[in-house]
Amino acid sequence: MTEKREEKKVRYDFKKDYEAPIREFYPRERYLPGRGINEIVTQHDFMGKKFERFESLEHYRDILRLCAKCGTCRYLYREWDRVCPSGELGKFESFYLGGKNLLLWGLTRGQIKWTESLVKILYHCTLCGNCQVQCQIPEIHYYATDWLEAAREYAVEEGYGPMPEQKRFGEHVEVEHNPYMELHKDRLAWLPVPAEKMPKNAKVVYFVGCTSSYRQKNIATTTFEILQDLGVDFTVMRDEWCCGSPLQRTGQRNGAVACAEHNISEIEKTGAETVITSCAGCYRTLKEDYGERYKKELNFEVVHSSVYLLKLLKKGDLKLKKGIKKKVTYHDPCHIGRHMGIYEEPRELLQSIPEVEFVEMPRNRQYAWCCGAGGGVKASFKDLAMFASKERISEAIATGAECLVSTCPFCYRNFKDAIEEMGVDLKLYDLVELVKESMQ
Amino acid sequence: MVVTSRYERVYEQLCSIAGSRYVSNRQEELFLYRWDYFTCSTPPGRCDFVVLPGSTEEVQEIIYLANRERIPVVPMVSGLNNAGLANPLQGGIVLDLRRMNRVLEVNEDDMYAVVEGGITWADLALYLNKKHPTLRPPITWSPPATGVVPSLLENGMHDLGMVGGCGSDFINGLEVVLPTGEIVVTGSLALSDSWYSRPPLPDISGLFIGWSGRTGIVTKASMKLWPKLPRRDYSLSAKTFKDGIEIEMALFKAGGPLLGICDITAINSFWSLASRTYSGLDLSRVPLEPRGADYMGMLTVMASTEKEMEAKAEVICDITKKLGGRITVYEEVQRVMAENERGITPLVLNCPVQEFPIWNFYMGGIGEWIGGYMPIRRVPEYYLESLEITKKYGKHALYYHRAMFGGHYNIARTLVLSNKDDPEDMRRTRECLMELDSALRKYGVRYKPQYWAVLRNNNKGHAGTLGLISRIKKMLDPNNILNPGQGM
């Protein structure tokens, strides 16, 4: 009898029930394998149909009817903050996931037609996936961004997509292999050593990506120097092309596949066992799209720089000695976070730097607000990219942090633009920059 | 000379009032706003424009325009609609108040909040959790994007129903743009600087409560808040539904809210749905198996101290057990439930309900209910009849009931699921809903009735009352521009 009473007291601690946030009643999120989206209870049966990822819009047709634009996708699970940059800026129902679902439901049933505004709505989205985390209908929770991407492929097939700016960068990728309207011959201009001095063969390839090659060269240079300082047997590809992410996210699949085939062949020529990338978008594309979407055989492992460096730190090869007395917060890039499930490694690496004071933003990990750059948005919807970025910068500042740290050059670039426009005093770092500073 | 059509003229004027960014006549918006997409008994309407006004003044200007042009205006919040009540049946302007979503004031002393007409439960819950964590609103079991003001105006049932009654009982006062464009304020703010109560003035708030947006557009509301006290949730069960209702009645008589009971419900529908959804077992077809209980209920108790909670719990548990019921702390139920049935559990700990869509739409996106207010003894009678009706149509009987205001009145509802892509299933569902509607009227009064349910009962009721309702509508809305075709 006494034992029973004791047990009850512990489990239903009165004060704790009152003060604890609701989420504490539940076990910590268990993420889907290889993704940063939590598992939820699946339905017993969906007309006996099984769904797969990376399929055509037709494959997901039956799921679309489950949506009733109830708006659950707009709010952070059980905490009620906003999650959708597209909807919060666009305001109309069509810009939220619920609206898009029902428009696609109508489109696939012939109730509405392709229009310029429909195309714009479908592309007015960073594909960050925060909405799908919130929806508790399992099929939507698991596959929504898959059909949002499939809808863009369908738009391209039908001749309505992508957006004009995206089409232009798609054409440029075909010729100069980058979406920045730069020349391919200048791709390695950031390299601190002459390109021909880089070994042809190495165990590790540093896949730089277009943004770090042409815009955020600080990230490319720093990553290069870290690898060099650590004595890693690595090289960079003489003929690296765009990973294909900007094309795939905007429905231009054929161009993306061409990029994949070229890059795989070039990586194989180096004999590398590991490909490191400091770009979240490249990471997702190389690791997930090349293998699982395009069904290419990859004879190498793809690793994000934050994961690779943490591994070296744990092995004792990387030593973080110099203290950095700064209060920092971390932004989860969607492409390594929600899309691929890398949440803890960057945090662990960051917090291993002596004297760093780490603070979380309220919306973190799978609930992180998107930086606003992805999905072709920065090229075609500058207002949306800036809106989303400013919102995140404000959230970071509200934590009291002096520095915002991320692990994606594209997030970095968008944050940089917003910080400049807002005129705020928030220092921006890629994680590798702080690691490098602490190594000295 | 440029000749513009009436349509173009109205569009331009709407743009000049609300800003072109907030006005749409795109195919996509018209498609989304024509229908609520989760009820099937009311066909999609059609709208010509969707406007998102940002202020009371903009709403007023739009109303003036609509009167000049004799265009219908259908108010709604956050793109959500219920029972097709904001399906634009006669075209015109759909006015989505979603931009007017601020909390304007929280008075901790008198425990009320003043909110704009377009705020959602999620917006309000977020604001109060962050800034006034000792207070809480009454929240409906509905998705987080549900509008607060429509829930209050349409007598929605809340998780504080036992202490405070239905949604409209929580209203202290309203700011309303009348169908003719004038602005009125109801409640204490009309004659003072504070919005703490509805009495003692003549209660003209009633001119806008239960009218399905046909007599005015509410742009601000003052609503009662409640202290956020520690709570404990219990699962109740009884062998038959009638037994369960007897237990509820005994609890009302023992004090109900005075015993700390802030919410008491029969949630057979949720058990059924959770079970059917997650394990394939249809409890509604075999209600006595496998749990051995036909009545599945939930009860929430609030108390300020642990001693108080234990004392209240003891009385509640004793009464339940004496009448043959079972009562278990909810977390315990959750612990012993099968992993794949736990989808039900967040409901009791969390409002608004993020799991709402999986429960209501899992079959095919349609989840429509027939519900009404009724005396407590009629609740089990309607339960049994609704069970038979739903079985007849091959539908799962998804029934629930909630006691309000200390048990002084009760709400019962039957939810029927359907598949948007299956016309035959939709037809069968419509028939089922209509039969449920007929049945319910024997036991009580429909609430949030679909337009067809109003039409089929137009001349049934007290002639004097119906005549007065009709005269009030004509007086307030002489051009019949607000939500025509809907409501009484």
pLDDT by residue (tens digit) across A109-135? 999 999 999 999 999 999 999 999 999
Tell me if A68 and B340 make a contact (CB, 8 A cut-off).
Answer: no
Angle at A121 between CA A117 and CA A126, to 5 degrees: 150
pLDDT of residue B274: 66
Mean pLDDT of B21-40: 95
Residue A29, pLDDT score: 67
Instruction: Determine the pLDDT at residue B284.
Output: 58
DSSP state of A71: S
pLDDT at A209: 98
Nearest partner of B354 among A228, A74, A288, judged by Cα: A74
Q: Predicted confidence band at B414 (pLDDT cuts at 50, 70, 90)?
A: very high
A45-59, A287-301, B371-385: the lowest-pLDDT one: A45-59
Full DSSP string of A305-324 = HHHHHHHHHHHTSS---S--
Other CB atoms within a 10 A radius of the CB of residue A48 amount to 5
Residue of B28, B305, B335 best to disrupt the A interface, most CBs of A under 10 A: B28
Give me the residue from A78, A93, A103 closest to B79, CB to CB. Answer: A93
pLDDT digits (tens, 9 = 90+) for B47-73: 999 999 999 999 999 999 999 999 999
Parallel, antiparallel or unpaired: strands B23-24 and B261-266: unpaired
For residues B96 and B50, the answer to whether their CB atoms sit within 8 Å is: yes
Q: What is the pLDDT of residues A50-68, one digit of tens each?
A: 899 999 999 999 999 999 9
Contact A249, A374 (CB under 8 A): yes
Q: At what angle do helices A164-176 and A253-270 cross, to 10 degrees?
A: 30
What's the rounded mean pLDDT across residues B393-406? 90
Q: Tell me: the pLDDT tens digits for A349-360?
A: 999 999 999 999
How far CA A302 is from CA of A91, A205, A255, in Å, comes to 39, 9, 21
Q: How many CB pairs under 8 A join A and B?
A: 164
State the smallest CA–CA distance between residue A103 and chain B in angstroms.
Answer: 7
User: Does B1 score more than 60 pLDDT?
Assistant: no
Q: What is the DSSP letter of A43?
A: P
Higher pLDDT, A436 or B37: A436
**Cα–Cα distance between B465 and A178 in angstroms, integer?**
73
Whether pLDDT at A97 is above 90: yes
- Using a CB–CB cutoff of 8 Å, tell me whether A20 touches chain B: no
Looking at residue A13, what is its pLDDT? 42
SS3 B23: strand
Hey, what domains does chain B have and what are their CATH numbers? 103-227 (3.30.465.10), 231-442 (3.40.462.10)
User: What pLDDT, on the 0 to 100 scale, is given for residue B283?
Assistant: 61
Evaluate the omega torsion of the peptide bond into residue B290 and state whether it is cis, within 30 degrees of 0.
yes
- CB-based contact, A94 to chain B, within 8 Å: yes
pLDDT at position B333 is 73
**Interchain CB contact of B358 with A (< 8 Å):** yes
Contact A70 B125 (CB under 8 A): no
Give the pair of three-digit tokens for residue A350.
């960051």
B133 shares contact with chain A (CB less than 8 Å) = no
Q: Which of A87, A150, A70 is nearest to A124 (CA)?
A: A87
Instruction: State the smallest CA–CA distance between residue A254 and chain B in angstroms.
Output: 29
Token pair listed for A106: 């109508």
Q: Is the pLDDT of residue B273 over 80?
A: no
CA torsion sign, B238 to B243 to B244 to B248? negative
Task: Determine, for residues A68 and B52 on separate chains, whether the beta-carbon distance falls below 8 Å.
Answer: no
Are A105 and B129 in contact (CB < 8 Å)? no
The answer to whether B22 contacts chain A (CB < 8 Å) is: yes
Measure Cα distances from B301 to A10, A270, A322, B284, B336 in Å: 19, 68, 55, 28, 22
- Is pLDDT larger for residue B341 or for residue B464? B464
- Residue A194 reports pLDDT greater than 80: yes
Which one of A93, A111, A160 makes the best mutation probe of the B interface by having the most chain B beta carbons within 10 Å?
A93
| Contact check, Cβ <8 Å, A65/B421 | yes
Among the listed residues A129, A99, A124, A390, the one whose alpha carbon sits nearest the alpha carbon of residue B96: A99
Examine the pLDDT at A345 and tell me if it is beyond 90.
yes
Distance between CA atoms of residues A353 and A45, nearest Å: 48
Q: Can you give the pLDDT at residue A26? A: 43
pLDDT at residue B288 in the model: 45
State the average pLDDT over residues B223-233: 94
Q: What would the pLDDT profile of B470-487 be if each residue is shown by its tens digit?
A: 999 999 999 999 999 887
Give the tens place of pLDDT for each residue, B39-48: 999 889 999 9
**Interface touch B361/A138, C-beta < 8 Å:** no
Confirm whether pTM is higher than 0.90: yes
Query: What is the band of A84 on the pLDDT scale with cuts at 50, 70, 90?
Result: very high
**How far apart are the CA of B351 and the nearest CA of chain A, in angstroms?**
8
Q: Do B145 and A74 contact (CB within 8 A), yes or no?
A: yes
Q: Which pLDDT belongs to residue A6? A: 36
Report the pLDDT value the prediction gives residue B313, as an integer from 0 to 100.
Answer: 95
Three-state SS string over A336-357 comes to CCCCCCCCHHHHHHHHCCCCCE
- Cα distances from B203 to residues A174, B199, B488, in angstroms, run 71, 7, 20
H-assigned helices in A241-381: 245-249, 253-270, 280-284, 305-315, 344-351, 377-380
The rounded distance, in Å, linking the Cα atoms of A361 and A393 is 10
Q: Is the pLDDT of residue B397 over 80?
A: no
Return the pLDDT at A332: 98
Chain-chain contact of A135 with B357 (C-beta, under 8 angstroms) = yes
User: Could you tell me how far CA B398 lies from the centroid of its own chain?
Assistant: 17
User: Euclidean distance between the first and final Cα of chain A, in Å?
Assistant: 63
Mean pLDDT of B116-144: 94
Considering only CB atoms, A117 lies closest to which of B26, B230, B342, namely B26
- Residue range A160-177, pLDDT digits in tens: 999 999 999 999 999 999
Residue carrying structure tokens 């809106």: A387
Q: Give the three-class secondary structure for A416.
A: helix
ipTM: 0.95
Spatial CB neighbours of A88, under 8 Å, sequence gap ≥ 6: A82, A387, A391
A136/B357 touch (CB, cutoff 8 Å), yes or no: yes
Torsion of CA B27, B33, B37, B41, to 10 degrees: -110
Mean pLDDT of chain B: 90
Supply the pLDDT for residue A45: 65
Q: CA dist B426 to A18, B114, B367, B369, B422, Å?
A: 44, 41, 11, 13, 6
Q: Percent helix, strand and coil across chain B, each rounded to 5?
A: 40, 20, 35
Contact A225, A192 (CB under 8 A): yes
Contact A44 B280 (CB under 8 A): yes
Rama region for A411: left / alpha / beta (φ>0; ψ in -120 to 50; rest): alpha
Q: What is the mean pLDDT of chain A?
A: 92
Task: Say what percent of chain A tops pLDDT 70.
Answer: 92
Instruction: Kindly indicate the confidence band of residue A95, based on its pLDDT and cuts at 50, 70 and 90.
Output: very high
A62 in reach of chain B (CB within 8 A) = yes
pLDDT at B342: 57
CB contact at 8 A, B308 and B260: yes
Per the CB < 8 A criterion, the answer to whether A233 and A203 are in contact is yes
Question: Residue B365 and residue A136: Cβ atoms within 8 Å?
Answer: no
User: CB-based contact (8 Å) between B308 and chain A?
Assistant: no
Residue B77, φ and ψ in degrees, nearest 5: -125, 130
Quote the CA–CA distance of B88 and B74 in Å, as a whole number.
Answer: 6
**What would the pLDDT profile of B164-218 be if each residue is shown by its tens digit?**
999 999 999 999 999 999 999 999 999 999 999 999 999 999 999 999 999 999 9
Greatest mean pLDDT among A9-18, A25-34, A238-247, B365-374 lies in: A238-247
